[in-house]
Amino acid sequence: MAAVSERLKALGLELPEPPAPVALYRPARVVGSLCFTAGQLPFRAGRLLAEGRVGREVDVATAWEGARQAALNAMAAAAAAAGGVDRLAGVVQVVGYVQSAEDFHQQAEVLNGASSLFVELFGDAGGHVRSAVGVAALPLNAAVEVECIFALE
């Protein structure tokens, strides 16, 4: 496959600015041939793309967009930590937390927003394992939080 930077362009996607390093933890950290990311929220241009509880105020389509954005943010964080987006060779694991109503059980559909992005960008090497769970509450009332482990070249 083409380099990830080329695939991003071909899909009309632009990697966001990596999340600002915060005082107490890092957006991403390299360990050997893996890059772990912090749990990422669906921020785009400074505001949450999906805010509230899925299955109540937030619908699946909006949450799917939020998961995709959070995954893109995780990728930006990993790219910054690893020395460039083309150092990312694939995706090992995605853990997705969905702020869910008690009777909402489509967490998998929501997380497909993250998973489909990675398959589009990395092809077979983007084929990750995934856990999708519905949680009681997320920071800042975000609808979704996505945490990733990337494989490095």
Site residues (CB under 8 A) for a copy of itself? 23-29, 31-34, 36-39, 53, 55, 92-95, 97-98, 100-108, 112, 115-116, 119, 127-141, 145, 147, 149, 151
CB of residue 110 vs a copy of itself: minimum separation in angstroms? 10
Q: Residue 129 pairs with which residues in a beta bridge?
A: 93
CB of residue 53 vs a copy of itself: minimum separation in angstroms? 8
CB of residue 64 vs a copy of itself: minimum separation in angstroms? 12
Question: Running DSSP on this structure, what letter comes out for residue 51?
Answer: B
Tokens 């990733």 sit on residue: 148
Closest to a copy of itself by CB, 69 vs 107, is 107
CB of residue 23 vs a copy of itself: minimum separation in angstroms? 8
Helix axes of 60-82 and 107-122: crossing angle, nearest 10 degrees: 40
Q: Which amino acid is at 65?
A: E
Closest to a copy of itself by CB, 88 vs 149, is 149
Residue 138 has phi, psi (to 5 degrees) of: -125, 160
Computed over its alpha carbons, how large is the radius of gyration of the chain? Answer: 14
